[in-house]
Amino acid sequence: MTKKKKARRRVSKKEKNRYDAIIENIFANHYSTKKNTFEFTREEFEETATKLEIKLPKNIGDVLYSFRYRKDLPATITKTAPDGLEWIIEGAGRAKYRFRLASANRIVPSTTLVTIKVPDATPEIITAYAQSDEQALLAKVRYNRLIDIFLGITTYSLQNHLRTTVKEIGQIEIDEIYVGVDKYGRQFVIPVQAKGGGDKHGVVQTQQDIACCAAKFPSLICRAVSAQFMHDDKIALFELTVEDGDIKVVEERHYQLVASKEISPADLKAYSVRRS
């Protein structure tokens, strides 16, 4: 049996996901215990797939998207990170990317935060056909003006799925972007991430959203928001920022869209005495 056939057999036997196999190989080609960051290129995906004799995914970018927002990196990579740190993948320019060690920080909805009931203004036809995914979440946030309620400013949806290029980062996509104004006349730009139940908030997307807004809207105040579906149709909203390369929660609120009759006098009394 040739070495190539043995290699193919090993991959099949372990049933390794081709995304895992590609990213593991790229990481191994650059990794050193003396490095906490290193860059790689889009071309390496094609070279690696050819070397491993596995079919290259049609959308190479999906490999990166998967590991940045949806799934964990392979154990062969994660085990190299020191305690309290994790490897993240950042954009480093056009067709360039960067592995970097960052503080391990998972943003998940608090289990102790109160839920705020909001009269549901979602059109019934939207409710009838909405799925439990990012697009449905964005629609519910938009129709119920949850960004306004959460931030306390008047906002307007400017564009969703904004695809653009940011210097030193490369191509990015923002789920939805709002602009807004407050009672003092200050104007804001609000990049919004939408996360389904299984997706995770990451420092990478927050960093690139903020960087994009700084480049495209330099005169506006940026307030990055992330929305996530919870159980029982609740929606968690986070205002996020980045400090020293780590993602931080500025504020978190949980909302539940309900019929007006489901908001009781006791609920209203409780809301009237709460303070931010």
- Residue 4 pLDDT: 42
Average pLDDT, the chain: 86
pLDDT winner (highest mean) among 12-16, 117-121, 168-172: 117-121
7: Cα separation from own chain's centroid: 35
Residue 273 has pLDDT above 90, yes or no: no
β-strands 187-195, 154-166 pairing? unpaired
CA dist., res. 122 & res. 117, Å (int): 14
**pLDDT tens string 148-157:** 999 999 999 9
DSSP the chain: --HHHHHHHHHHHHT--HHHHHHHHHHHHH--TT-SEEEEETHHHHHHHHHHT-PPPS-HHHHHHIIIIISPPPHHHHTTSPTTEEEEEEEEETTEEEEEEEE-------SSPPEEEEE----HHHHHH--SSHHHHHHHHHHTTHHHHHHTSEEEEEEEEEEEEETTTEEEEEEEEEEEE-TT--EEEEEEEEE-TT----HHHHHHHHHHHHHH-TTSEE-EEEEEE-GGGEEEEEEEEEETTEEEEEEEEEEEEE-GGGS-HHHHHHHHT---
140 closest CA partner among 59, 222, 230: 230
Q: If you average pLDDT over residues 152-167, what whole number do you get?
A: 92
Query: What CA–CA distance (Å, rounded) separates 135 from 138?
Result: 5
What pLDDT sits at residue 16? 53
**pLDDT at residue 68 greater than cutoff 80:** no
Residue 120 has pLDDT above 90, yes or no: yes
Residue 9 or 144, more confident:
144
Give the global pTM: 0.78
CB 227 within 8 A of CB 235: yes
Structure token digits, residue 155? 């906002």
Q: Which residue has the higher pLDDT, 204 or 124?
A: 124
Domains of the chain: residue spans and CATH: 3-103 (no CATH), 115-272 (3.40.1350)
Q: Name beta bridge partners: 87.
A: 101
Q: How confident is the model at residue 52 (pLDDT cuts 50, 70, 90)?
A: confident
Distances (CA, A) of 114 to 91, 255, 260: 37, 9, 18
Question: Which candidate, 253, 191, 184, 247, places its Cα nearest to that of 222?
Answer: 191
Residue 15: is its pLDDT beyond 50?
Answer: no
Q: Averaged over 60-87, what is the pLDDT?
A: 84
Q: What is the rounded distance in angstroms from the CA atom of residue 80 to the CA atom of residue 35?
A: 11
Encode pLDDT of 206-243 as tens digits.
888 999 999 999 999 999 999 998 888 899 999 999 88
Residues 14-31, mean pLDDT to the nearest whole number: 83
pLDDT value of residue 2 = 47
The pLDDT assigned to 36 comes to 92
pLDDT over 80 (residue 6): no
Least confident of 84-93, 138-147, 256-265: 84-93
